[in-house]
A and B are shown apart, each in its own frame.
Chain A
Amino acid sequence: MSGAPTAQLPPVAQYALRLGDDALILAQRLGEWAANAPELEEDVALTNIALDLLGQARVLLTHAGKIEAAGRTEDDFAFLRDERDFVNVQLVEQPNGDFAQTIARQLFFTAYQRLLYARLADSVDPTLSGVAGKAIKEVDYHEDHAAGWTRRLGDGTEESHRRMQAGVDRLWPYVDELFRTDQLEQRLVAEGIAVDASGLREEWHKRVTSVLDEATLAAPEGSWTAPGGGRRGLHTEAFGYLLAEMQHLHRTHQGARW
């Protein structure tokens, strides 16, 4: 069933969808590397990470459905919502580009998710704290993977350095959105449910800048900032194509199962 617009759901359901959509959409992007990665072993690594994220998304989308209490399942949220009802940040929907660009996206998002989950583990909402507490170990590994490749490529050959820097430059404008907070989030922060994203900014920069430094890469200065709006259902051009690929099977064969 397609159900009410995301913006009309109870606040906690909306918040769970924000986190769940981040994980779901990034999992979908990483899944595009299956059978396409530069090495067989890396193919498995990227899809393992995708599956970790998908596992997080399943819990969070199911949680949103329970709070909404209108009978929607994780599949309903993943496959039957339209673009404007997805509330992920725009960073995770950005195209894979080359391998370096994918790694830059991983580095940026994973550092954010790691800091977020560390705080969310103390949420008074037991499902949110549970998924965060469990996922921290997964995300630790994702961060290690992304940082490792950033160092290798940045401090590698001339060509790999050029590509890694290009990936960083291409995605940097989407970083700012990660740390924007809004009324809904602030209300849930006050209730001890959510994490104030704006409070993660400083530590994120410390973490990411130290990796970039080691990798002999530079954080772009004076870069433009994307207008954002993912949390309000505003997305970039690439997102519609991603949804079409992700949803068409389910929409064509309603109720199809493994």
Chain B
Amino acid sequence: MTDRRQWPLWEVFVRSKRGLSHNHVGSLHAADASMALRMARDVYTRRQEGVSIWVVPAASITASSPDEKDPFFEPAGDKVYRHPTFYDLPEGVEHL
């Protein structure tokens, strides 16, 4: 284990059986995309957690910075009118 370079990091997203979208479940190290996919299968879906897997190179993700938390998210805090809670639902509408 002298100068071995580590494999790149991959973020893993799994869509569960009843889920509509892929959810982030964790990360792993793999040499390339196809290895990452297989390893994700072994590490994250061994208890029937999913029916579909995405792997994304962690380096390809652009994330918001914790320093920008206030300008990014604070302004939404006091704008309750952005929530769709001021409508009267017509009768018979069930799935809203």
Using CB atoms and an 8 Å cutoff, list the residues of chain A in contact with chain B: 39-42, 44-45, 48, 144-145, 148, 152
Contact = CB atoms under 8 A, between A and B. Distances in A.
A137 to B, nearest CB: 13
Interface in B1-49: 7, 28-31, 34-35, 38-39, 42-43, 46
A53 to B, nearest CB: 15
Contacts of B42: 41, 44-45, 48
Top 10 A-B pairs, shortest CB-CB distance: A41-B39, A45-B42, A44-B42, A44-B43, A41-B28, A48-B42, A41-B43, A48-B46, A39-B29, A45-B39
Contacts, number: 27
A45 B29 CA distance: 13
Interface of B: 7, 28-31, 34-35, 38-39, 42-43, 46
A39 B38 CA distance: 14
A174 to B, nearest CB: 27
Contacts of B30: 41
Contacts of A145: 38
- For the residues of A in contact with B, the DSSP-based class is helix
A145 B34 CA distance: 11
Contacts of B34: 148
Given A48-B42, A148-B35, 9 more contacts: A39-B7, A39-B29, A40-B28, A41-B28, A41-B29, A41-B39, A41-B42, A45-B39, A148-B34
Nearest to B28: A41
Contacts of B43: 41, 44
Contacts of A144: 38
Contacts of A152: 31, 35
A48 B45 CA distance: 11
19 contacts: A39-B7, A39-B29, A40-B28, A40-B29, A41-B28, A41-B29, A41-B30, A41-B39, A41-B42, A41-B43, A42-B39, A44-B39, A44-B42, A44-B43, A44-B46, A45-B38, A45-B42, A48-B42, A145-B38
Nearest to B44: A44
A42 B31 CA distance: 12
A42 B46 CA distance: 14
Nearest to A144: B38
A42 B39 CA distance: 7
A48 B47 CA distance: 11
A152 B7 CA distance: 14
Contacts of A40: 28-29
A161 to B, nearest CB: 16
